[in-house]
Structure 1
Amino acid sequence: METIFYNFYYQDDQQIKKLMNTALIEQVFDLIKLNNPLIAIESPLQERARLLKSIARECQQKHVLCYLWTLSDDQLHQLEVNGQDLILQQVLEYQPMTKNKREDYFEILRFWKATEKEGILILEGIFPWLGDSTTDPDFFLTAEWIKSALINLKLDNRNSNRTAILLGPNASLSSEITAFVPTITQELPTVEEISNYLQGILPKNYSEKEIHEIALAAVGMYLADIEYGINWATASCTKAQELTKKLSLYKTDLLRRVYNIEFLQPPAIEVGGLDLMQESFKTYKRLLTPLAKAYNLRLPKGILLIGPPGTGKSHSAKACSQRLGIPMIVLEWGSFRSYGNMAEYKLKNLLALVDRINRVILYLDDFDKGFTLNDDLSRRLAGMLLTWMQERKSDVLIIASANNIEWLPPELTRSGRFDDIFKVDLPNNGERHSIFKIHLARFDYRFRDRDGFSDEEWRRLLKATHRCVGAEIQAIVERAAISTFCLMFTDDVPPVGELPPLEIRLEALLSARNNMNPLAIREAERIEGMRNKADLQGLPSSPLDSSIYSVGNVNIFG
């Protein structure tokens, strides 16, 4: 009998109990008590060793034998836990067959049906054959054989003290088998579970408050990821505050790689205009308070920002993150199409992540681009999102941006889906004045505490930039700053301490504007179509221009 040892280091047995996914293990054995001979567990790969040890330990306490079979080696092992070690003992009664056909790789299903052994058999690597149908006839026939074998296991092994557990990261089952197999999903750990875990691995001089702050920074990761992140962070820092920051950076990078999203902490930004929308953001912040919850008040189910490109929809979402003081997850909705048959699985995991993080903004960028083909996949993803928006209990604020509202399915824009719909339009004179000042202040000190131009100069600039959006104004200022810099200095740039201030003149801005053809002018018909359709659905995000640069405030008589 071949024996393999897997070593896990924890401080003591009590810590091991804390690290067990207690709720998950209880669900598994509750289903076993109800004589379910077939169970599916969806668990991420990084948590696999911890989960196997938890199941094996529970089996030992209940005097139940536990076995493991994996597709990769087609070997059967008995699992035992000895102190800190997970022991795999090869079961020689099971002998793999010569692989003449694909079904021979799954001889374990015949063996478990016919054997007199009792206990729990964990099967790894079968889920890919249990999903929706495929166009490959050979794969299809193998999948049908496996499904039939599993159904026979369920029927023949009832009341036989034998249970087969299907284990894998994606427990997507086809409709004909899903009713036969109860499925359990290993959820992301809660803040309390993470805190319990951290108490066993962090230095004893960390206070409860510090551990709680670190746990909050770790929410959204599994324990195995947190352990790796802690080890990476403590290699270069020991103070709790530094550890929290480094763990947050590690989580940001991990979420980007795993979920293809950006996880952004509340930024420090300025917004030029959009005052009505900003007032709504203040309301959302009040709805996050315990007082609002006491009155059963909630955040809007969703907020939709519609309007031409470059008008500040993404910037507005970041401003909302700043106003509410909560992080933001940025997701390109159209990117889900690239996952094909995995798209629904990816979306399900992402929504579970968002629910666990809880107080966060989920920003769906270019929401309309995910519906350009109007196919079955688009409708299924939209249905998943709508169901989640309707049923969720978490304090998540969903913000979506769209250029072409007509691309969105009607069920997404009807009342009760997105509670607030804002039209983010071309900026008026007063808003363009504010946007110019924000960007000019980045380069020219005169615009930081005061106004560097006269009213007449501003009127010339604002007239020249009519129909320019915020993104184009930023580009104009940056080009003007570059041209000013190039006129001030040759290749021999003096030391930093001797640098004169960069003063951007009106002529440089007008020249940069003349070298740009704004989108609202270049594509006037298309942009006006977007604006008109947004008018029919959205509330204004800006009030009437009441600044001194408003068209109504111009003295036409000089």
Structure 2
Amino acid sequence: MATTVEQIVTALASAYPVIAVVSPEEDRIERLIQRVGAAAKPNPLPVLTWNCLDGFGQAHPVSDPLAALAWVAQEAPQGFYLFKDITAMLDGNRFLLRRLRDTASAIRNSGKYLFLLGPVVQVPDELKPFTYVVNSIFPDEAEVQATVQAVFTATRRSVDPSTFGRIVTSLRGMSLTEVEHVLRRLLARHQELGEAFFLELLAEKEQIMRKEGILEFVPPDRGIEELGGLDQLKLWVRQRASLFTPEARAQGLPRPKGVLLMGMSGCGKSLAVKVIAHEWQLPLFRLDMNLVFAGVHGSPEWVFHRALEAVEAVAPAVLWIDEIEMGVAGYHEGETGSLTRIFSTFLTWMQEHRADVFVAATANRINLLPAEIIRKGRFDQVFFVELPNEEERKEILAIHMRRQGLDPSKYDLVLLASATRGWNGAEIEQAVISARVACFAEGRPVEERDLLAAMGQIVPLSTTMAEQIKAIRSWARTRALPATTPGKPEM
């Protein structure tokens, strides 16, 4: 994605008289416009800023937007004219819209340019032929680097290049004001820039991303040792763990684009996504499609586009789309409306985006997935997650026993794995938890018979949804790579 300055330069080179800048950071955008103005050829161009209280300040202290625009059109010299509050006044104001259109027409090819700045900019149809839209929701990497360097210089702290790069990556997706405040606070609190520093930095990032309300930051705190089975998926993840490093970039190695995990519910697809982020040491963001379609933050198409821009701004990162068949890929041929447009946007973005964003998508109802989603080029690999076999169930049992404070070596895992034939990982976890809770209530340790008793009270999905599971297996047999090495089928 082009930087803010590159987008502004493109707009100026295209001779658009109006440049609408979408950003909540007024000071940052003003500085960038001043930088572009100072570098203008053959002569630098001044930047005058208007707001609804002070007008253009001493240059022309008129707070009425109609009068300010008339002055720009008729008397003002060549330059950049930044209007900060005018986008919020446009809705339903026919007089202001007319004056804006007339001003845009009057200043074409005159060396004067209008910049309309706001966190949300809806360009009216009348202005679209005159307007170039610059999306600058988050600062780019160079801006974050400059701010981080300025903070380290001001605080007289030293940092090695590797740690500096990791800090910059962790701070991406924040405004420059947030970057400065967060970094100053954490530097004052931590004398060493170790793991404790970065854990707190991730916690700060989580709070800031919550304010965006679109992407949910998910702490990638589950290691690959906590994922039972799925040996082929684990191998695939390990082989690509170093592709996001500077060394891989220097050698021109391709970055993985995404993976689609589909199959039975409760078999570890969501956990696998967290493991991928943890193994690759990348931040994990979950896109909640319910919020996209809720309309709280604007039209679904605009919110979805903003979410993609947001995750590109924090790259490298993992974007998690849960149950993709019900959200992004919930489109069916012949449908129209927001879902169709979002589906089209997502397909194009998956094919064309250049940011280091890895898409990890999960799907339960795989028969609902359109062919466009699963074809090669969208995802690097499509894995089918099957019900765990006996060896995997033993591994899953041991993992959940350890998480509940139990010693797996004291139990007959072969017997327990046999008792859970046809179970998914979530059902095995619930059986272990139920046994521990029951024994805690009775004030005694968990015995093997308690685990077997808890298992006897659970009816697995493989029993209640046998026909659906059979259909899922049949559909996936020739369409996806098994996440587990195929072996002898269980009776």
Give the Cα–Cα distance (whole angstroms) in 2 for the partners of residues 397 and 254 of structure 1: 21
Contact 1:266 1:325 in 2 (8 A): no
- Secondary structure at the aligned position of 1:537 is classed as coil
Is the aligned partner of 1:318 residue 2:295? no
Give the Cα–Cα distance (whole angstroms) in 2 for the partners of residues 368 and 30 of structure 1: 38
Q: CA deviation at 1:254?
A: 1.1
Aligned residue among 467, 480, 485 for 1:538: 480
Is the aligned partner of 1:155 residue 2:110? no
Q: CA deviation at 1:509?
A: 1.4
Partner residue in 2 for 1:422: 383
Distance 1:515 1:543, change over 3 A: same
Aligned residue among 75, 78, 92 for 1:116: 75
Q: CA deviation at 1:405?
A: 2.1
Distance 1:270 1:112, change over 3 A: same
Write out aligned runs for 1:180-191 (5 A): 180-186=130-136, 188-191=138-141
Partner residue in 2 for 1:343: 300
Distance 1:177 1:77, change over 3 A: closer
Aligned residue among 191, 194, 203 for 1:249: 203
Write out aligned runs for 1:186-225 (5 A): 186=136, 188-202=138-152, 203-209=155-161, 210-225=163-178
Q: CA deviation at 1:314?
A: 0.6
Give the Cα–Cα distance (whole angstroms) in 1 for the partners of residues 219 and 132 of structure 2: 37
Give the Cα–Cα distance (whole angstroms) in 2 for the partners of residues 95 and 245 of structure 1: 47
Give the Cα–Cα distance (whole angstroms) in 1 for the partners of residues 126 and 476 of structure 2: 44
What TM-score do you get using the length of structure 1 for normalisation? 0.74
Q: CA deviation at 1:419?
A: 3.4
For 2:294, the aligned partner's letter is S
Distance 1:322 1:27, change over 3 A: closer
Q: CA deviation at 1:120?
A: 3.6
Distance 1:453 1:59, change over 3 A: closer
Give the Cα–Cα distance (whole angstroms) in 2 for the partners of residues 344 and 184 of structure 1: 17
Contact 1:69 1:76 in 2 (8 A): yes
Percent of residue pairs identical: 26
For 2:375, the aligned partner's letter is R
1:254-294 CA distance string (max 9 Å, x none): 12331331242453342211112112222323544677667
Contact 2:169 2:316 in 1 (8 A): no
Partner residue in 1 for 2:438: 483
Aligned residue among 350, 353, 361 for 1:389: 350
Write out aligned runs for 1:195-344 (5 A): 195-202=145-152, 203-209=155-161, 210-234=163-187, 236-241=189-194, 242-258=196-212, 259-265=214-220, 267-268=222-223, 269-285=225-241, 287-288=243-244, 297-339=253-295, 341-344=298-301
Partner residue in 2 for 1:493: none
Give the Cα–Cα distance (whole angstroms) in 2 for the partners of residues 441 and 270 of structure 1: 10
For 1:354, the aligned partner's letter is V
Partner residue in 2 for 1:107: 66
Distance 1:157 1:90, change over 3 A: closer
Give the Cα–Cα distance (whole angstroms) in 1 for the partners of residues 93 and 8 of structure 2: 25
Give the Cα–Cα distance (whole angstroms) in 2 for the partners of residues 532 and 444 of structure 1: 39
For 1:298, the aligned partner's letter is P
CA RMSD of aligned residues (A): 3.5
Give the Cα–Cα distance (whole angstroms) in 2 for the partners of residues 213 and 334 of structure 1: 32
Contact 2:423 2:462 in 1 (8 A): yes
Q: CA deviation at 1:177?
A: 4.2
Contact 1:308 1:531 in 2 (8 A): no
Partner residue in 2 for 1:20: none
Contact 1:189 1:221 in 2 (8 A): yes
For 2:217, the aligned partner's letter is E
Give the Cα–Cα distance (whole angstroms) in 1 for the partners of residues 403 and 482 of structure 2: 29
Distance 1:227 1:296, change over 3 A: closer
Is the aligned partner of 1:353 residue 2:305? no
Distance 1:338 1:373, change over 3 A: farther
Give the Cα–Cα distance (whole angstroms) in 2 for the partners of residues 32 and 276 of structure 1: 51
- Secondary structure at the aligned position of 1:285 is classed as coil
Aligned residue among 65, 77, 80 for 2:55: 77
Contact 1:214 1:240 in 2 (8 A): no
Contact 2:390 2:417 in 1 (8 A): yes
Distance 1:422 1:183, change over 3 A: same
Q: CA deviation at 1:520?
A: 2.9
Q: CA deviation at 1:305?
A: 0.9
Give the Cα–Cα distance (whole angstroms) in 2 for the partners of residues 190 and 54 of structure 1: 12
Mind listing any 5+ residue stretches in structure 1 that lack a counterpart? Answer: 1-22, 79-87, 97-105, 131-138, 490-501, 553-558
Q: CA deviation at 1:230?
A: 2.3
For 1:387, the aligned partner's letter is T
Mind listing any 5+ residue stretches in structure 2 that lack a counterpart? Answer: none
Partner residue in 2 for 1:49: 27
Give the Cα–Cα distance (whole angstroms) in 2 for the partners of residues 243 and 444 of structure 1: 29
Q: CA deviation at 1:246?
A: 2.6
Q: CA deviation at 1:434?
A: 1.2
Give the Cα–Cα distance (whole angstroms) in 1 for the partners of residues 187 and 12 of structure 2: 42
Write out aligned runs for 1:88-107 (5 A): 88-89=57-58, 91-92=60-61, 94=62, 96=64, 107=66
1:60-104 CA distance string (max 9 Å, x none): 89775644444xxx44522xxxxxxxxx44845x474xxxxxxxx
Distance 1:343 1:429, change over 3 A: same
Write out aligned runs for 1:470-549 (5 A): 470-488=425-443, 502=445, 504-545=446-487
Partner residue in 1 for 2:410: 452
Partner residue in 2 for 1:102: none
Contact 1:310 1:471 in 2 (8 A): yes
Partner residue in 2 for 1:18: none
Give the Cα–Cα distance (whole angstroms) in 2 for the partners of residues 204 and 113 of structure 1: 45
Partner residue in 2 for 1:403: 364
Contact 2:147 2:180 in 1 (8 A): no
- Secondary structure at the aligned position of 1:326 is classed as coil
Give the Cα–Cα distance (whole angstroms) in 1 for the partners of residues 465 and 81 of structure 2: 64
1:91-130 CA distance string (max 9 Å, x none): 45x474xxxxxxxxx6357634764233443223454688
Contact 1:313 1:424 in 2 (8 A): yes
Contact 1:332 1:366 in 2 (8 A): no
For 1:249, the aligned partner's letter is A
For 2:273, the aligned partner's letter is A
Partner residue in 2 for 1:441: 402
